[in-house]
Amino acid sequence: MSKTDMNIFEKYESEVRSYCRGFPTVFSKAKGYKMWDEDGKEYIDFFSGAGALNYGHNDDHMQDKLVEYIKSDGPTHTLDMATTEKANFLTKFNDVILKPRDLDYKIMFPGPTGTNTVESALKLARKVTGRTDVISFTNGFHGMTIGSLSVTGNAMKRKGAGIPLNNTVTMPYDNFVDESMDTLEYLERFLEDNGSGVDLPAAMILETVQGEGGINAARMEWLKKVDEICKKWDILLIIDDVQAGVGRTGTFFSFEPAGIKPDIVCLSKSLSGYGLPFAITLFRPDLDIWAPGEHNGTFRGFNHAFITASAALDYWKDEQFEKGIKQKSAKVKDFLVGLTEKYPELQGTFCGRGLMVGIECAKEGLADEVAAEAFNRGLIMETSGPKSEVFKLFPPLNIDDEGLQKGFDIIEESVKALVS
């Protein structure tokens, strides 16, 4: 029995909470790829804060920098003021991330979380083009505020609040339908249909790998073609890299292997590196037509996040880091594909890219059962998809072989216990 009574959460916290149910214990410590509950039970973390902890918990390098800064009485919260740490972050992000990838973007601080960057992207696209509609894709997820929710392809999440797909048209994502339908041909036909009074949209917004909608990875050719279509019709392409970015799929930006340069990019989650709320919106310099103060908010300019985000970029200075993610991705894929072959009862299909992967289980409820069983055996893992049909592996990018293997063992034991 934990020191803290679990009933406290039932009693005082809104019914809207979710992870409290999925992971029914009280956590009190976390380091690297491990978490511990109040009873001292150890868990391997393949959840990584829903993608916000790509470097694991309490990374030493970031922690040292943060503690040193806090002790120095450096300013914490400075809104839009210029600070040393903001200058350091802007310079480092350009030098370590943008320039080597031949990307030229203005950086905007839209507010603390993923939904804030999406809102700012949608607003900017409407302002730049003077148009209002946005094309989003089936099973896409972009956030919980009204604008981002209206481009989110999840009726259950919109329904309660009565939020329609406002000024949004949902198009089929890659592989949403089988080969009988070319989803991009369908999209182009829609754009051509001026006769029915279809207005050209301001933007298209998409994830290159859908994180909440079932770990669906778009093919590179599909992404390239979407980019071409956007250019042809003068539509802005917004890549929401809130979950798939910051190395999760193997490269810093998830769109790099497609060789495209989106007009607008949304980043948050693992950007601060340490799990602190932080987001940026990147856009082509010529799109920077914001008037001063036109989009602002209180919680921007969080210097602690600048500190840890700058420290996190040190990982990216070392080429071995990116190579390491690719090697681990190959191991995870081998394990998961092997698991589907060894346990046909899973009726499982490997899905995803990089370290953003999972197994889609045809049998309803099975993915949730695997995650619950794994939790009892000491592994934290989430499920994804409209019917929770995918169990999702999100290990920290810097996990070692031992950590990976421990996680694999627990998953295999859990599957074995459930299907045999």
- By the criterion CB under 6 A, which residues form the site for ligand PMP? 50, 113-115, 118, 141-143, 207, 211-212, 240, 242-243, 268
CB 304 within 8 A of CB 361: no
Is the CB of 250 or the CB of 403 nearer to ligand PMP? 250
Closest contact distance (angstroms) between CB of 112 and ligand PMP is 8
Tell me if residue 137 falls in helix, strand or coil.
strand
Looking at the DSSP bridge assignments, the partners of residue 392 are: 358, 382
CB 22 within 8 A of CB 382: yes
Which residue's CB comes closest to ligand PMP? 114
Closest contact distance (angstroms) between CB of 237 and ligand PMP is 15
Is the CB of 48 or the CB of 243 nearer to ligand PMP? 243
Q: b/e for 40-50, b at 16 or more Cβ within 10 A?
A: eeebbbbbbbb
Closest contact distance (angstroms) between CB of 116 and ligand PMP is 7
> Alpha-carbon dihedral of residues 65, 274, 55, 46, nearest 10 degrees?
150
Is the CB of 191 or the CB of 244 nearer to ligand PMP? 244
Tell me if residue 154 falls in helix, strand or coil.
coil
Is the CB of 272 or the CB of 414 nearer to ligand PMP? 272
CA atoms within 13 A on the CB side of 389: 18
Place of tokens 């899905």: 351
Q: In sequence order, what DSSP letters do the residues of 181-217 get, joined into one string?
A: --HHHHHHHHHH-GGGTPPPPSEEEE-SEETTTT-EE
Is the CB of 7 or the CB of 18 nearer to ligand PMP? 18
Q: Count, in order, helices (H) and strands (E) of the chain.
A: 14, 17
Closest contact distance (angstroms) between CB of 148 and ligand PMP is 6
Is the CB of 148 or the CB of 183 nearer to ligand PMP? 148
Closest contact distance (angstroms) between CB of 117 and ligand PMP is 8
Closest contact distance (angstroms) between CB of 46 and ligand PMP is 16
Closest contact distance (angstroms) between CB of 357 and ligand PMP is 15
Residue 19 amino acid letter: Y
Is the CB of 50 or the CB of 229 nearer to ligand PMP? 50
**352 secondary structure, DSSP code:** E
